[in-house]
Structure 1
Amino acid sequence: MAHPVSLAEVWRGPFLESHHSGHAVICDGSGQIVSAWGDPDAVVLPRSSSKMIQALPLVMSGAADARSLTSEQLALACASHQGAPIHVDRVNRWLADLGLDDAALCCGPQVSRDTDLKLAMIRADESPCRVHNNCSGKHAGFLTLTQHLGAGPDYVDPDHPVQRACLDAFETVTDLTSPGFGIDGCSAPNFATTMHGMARAMAWFATAGQRSDTMSTAAARLVEAMHTHPELVAGEGRACTRLMRVAKEPVALKTGAEGYFIAILPTRGLGVAIKAADGATRAAECAIAAILVRLDVLDAAHPEVKAFLNPSIHNWDGLVTGEIRPAPGFLA
């Protein structure tokens, strides 16, 4: 079994102060590994990086078309959003269209990560709602599918028809039997797979537009929604949104908790999966930027790219004290 390798380094002046290890895999449309760092067979929980897989049954089932869902709503179904007004207002309208309200969501309340809205709610003595949860778009999709199937309201139960459909989709696109699941921060099951399996799934999404079967057509719609609406997939200031906006070609990027990140590259038919072994977001963001620069999808000199590829470290007096860098050889 291969061990994790260094993905990103943290320098303070001339000293290597710390480094982040992990795994990274690039797959092509046939599911074969193009490049790998660390252990492609490492079993991982992809967390929110798998949201586009969880959204597949929503589209495949016909539920999305039955409710005339827009590409914005499909992007939100794949999102880990900021809980900003641009996200909250849209999810609230979606719930209203379903005849539901905030109480129907099983994701739990979360403080908005949009600074202006968070402060406004504090001043107004308003408590955060479930719709502010970063997964509320995904859960609105779950509720849409639940209604379409005529299923019960506990849609996060692993034995619920919605979650059984998600597992079936997950095992199909990873081409592996999942060894199990953990309960995610939003209460839904998060299915485990290998790094190779997840990269293979992202390559399957990347090549979905080349096929005409129902599942591939659904995947192509979700990928298009993500790269068309980067501001809905994450939000202002977030790596997913900023890097999708400045990419040289259409890409779909998605972060996940505990240092996970994926990339779907339709123009090249490639899928990428990254896991920082210590769960550090800064390492996963640096690594995904490095791989996309390596593939010439991003320009290393672009300020938006440098913000994640080589972010400066500042002290409390505003002095630059160091930087984060991709590990040696990672860009070559």
Structure 2
Amino acid sequence: MSDPIDFVELWRGGMLESVHRGHAVVVDEAGEIVHQWGDPDAVVFPRSSAKMLQALPMVESGVADRCGLTTEQLALSCASHSGAAIHTDRVQRWLKDLEQTDDAFNCGPQWPADTPAKNGLIRGNANPCRYHNNCSGKHCGFLTMTKANGWGPNYVAIDHPLQVGIKQVVEELTEESSAGWGIDGCSAPNFASSLHGIGRAMATFASADDSTTRGGAMVRLRNGMMAHPELIANEDRACTHLMRAAKGKAAVKTGAEGFFIAILPELRLGVALKIIDGTTRASECAMAAILCRLGVLDPNDPSVKAYCNPDLVNFAGLITGDMRPSAALA
């Protein structure tokens, strides 16, 4: 077992003030590690970075086609959106197509991270709904599978056929038995795996083609993510900005507690990283740095620099320091 390494540094007044540490792997289509930092065998919860794995049974089984799902809906099934109108309008239409109401969701209500949407609720003296939950697109996919198969409504239960199928997919693509499971923020099970295993799964997505049913389903999900980056996150979020900057070379997805993945179809590589202290700013910086190192992102692109080398600015607008990747990543 290897210790985590320094990934991201914060400097102020010419002095190193803080350090975020973590683990990361880059895995090829054969499942082999081509770059590693820290411990590839660290057991992790991928959190929302696993959403394309959770959506895969819906596409692979043919349910997505039978229900006429669009590329936007496939993207939303992989999204951690901000509850903006571009997200919730589509989620509500999907619910209507399913002849379901907000109460059918097993996720809880959540205030939108999108400022206009949140302010609109406050001005209207309204409470958030379940469709505002950042995972409501994924849960629409869950409801689609549940209705198509005639399964019971408690689709987040660990023994529900939906979750049994998702666990099987996770174990097949990581090529390891899950080390356990925990309850995610949206109430669904999240299956633990090694960092190498998650990287292997993402490399399989990256190298997939239409020659098999599963491969074709993977292609559709990763392409849906890249075609609609604004639905995966929002106009002010890293996943959206980094996918746009990659110009079709990467599908990326953040997860809670400092997790992040990338699927790189042209290079046929998968990336997985975990920041030990769970800080999102550090996972965004580290992922941007790794993608620059792999030639997927241009380090001079302003939207990339905003995550890889941002200035630290105080409330008066003064630059007080900077955040940067460590020498190990740079």
| Matching residue of 2:174 | 174
| Mapping of residues 90-105 of structure 1, within 5 Å | 90-105=90-105
Distance 1:289 1:241 in 2: 12
Output aligned runs, 1:175-190, within 5 Å.
175-190=175-190
Provide the residue aligned with 1:47 in structure 2: 47
Match of 1:138 in 2: 138
CA distance in 1, matches of 2:184, 2:284: 21
Equivalent residue, structure 2, for 1:263: 262
Contiguous gaps of at least 5 residues in structure 1: none
Which residue number in structure 2 is paired with residue 308 of structure 1?
307
Any idea what SS the aligned residue of 1:137 has?
helix
CA distance in 2, matches of 1:81, 1:59: 20
Shift of 1:329: 2.9
**2: CA distance between counterparts of 1:106 and 1:135?**
10
C-alpha deviation, 1:248, in angstroms = 4.4
Please give the secondary structure, in 1, of the residue aligned with 2:241. Answer: helix
User: Match for 1:261: what amino acid?
Assistant: F
Whole-angstrom distance in 2 between the partners of 1:117 and 1:43: 37
Displacement of 1:293 in angstroms is: 0.4
Structure 1 residues 3-55: Cα deviation after superposition (integer angstroms, max 9, x where no partner):
10011001112000010000000000000000000000000000000000000
Q: Distance in 1 between matches of 2:327 and 2:225?
A: 31
Q: What is the one-letter code of the residue matched to 2:265?
A: P
Deviations 1:290-318 (A, max 9, x none): 00100111111111000100111111211
Instruction: Give the alignment of 1:1-332 within 5 angstroms.
Output: 1-209=1-209, 212-331=211-330
The code of the aligned residue for 2:157 comes to: D
Residue correspondences, number:
330
Distance 1:121 1:248, change over 3 A: closer
> Any conservation in 1 of the 2:171–2:178 contact (CA below 8 Å)?
yes
**8 A Cα contact 2:249 2:296, kept in partner:** no
Distance across 1 between alignment mates of 2:212 and 2:301 = 38
For 1:249 and 1:93, locate their aligned partners in 2 and report how far apart those are by CA, in whole Å: 28
| Whole-angstrom distance in 2 between the partners of 1:120 and 1:130 | 16
1:246, 1:196 → 2: CA distance? 26
Contact 1:274 1:284 in 2 (8 A): yes
Structure 1 counterpart of 2:322, one-letter code: E
Q: Is the Cα contact below 8 Å between 1:249 and 1:297 reproduced in 2? A: no
CA distance in 2, matches of 1:5, 1:246: 27
SS in 1 for 2:34: strand
TM-score of the superposed pair, with normalisation by structure 1 = 0.98
Structure 1 runs (4+) deviating above 4 angstroms are none
Q: Distance in 2 between the 1:166 and 1:220 partners?
A: 18
* Secondary structure in 2 matching 1:192: strand
- What amino acid maps onto 1:284 in structure 2? S
C-alpha RMSD over aligned residues: 0.8
Counterpart Cα distance in 2 of 1:329 and 1:205: 27
The structural deviation recorded for 1:60 is 1.2
Q: Distance in 1 between matches of 2:91 and 2:278?
A: 29
Q: Aligned partners of 2:96, 2:326: CA distance in 1, in Å?
A: 48
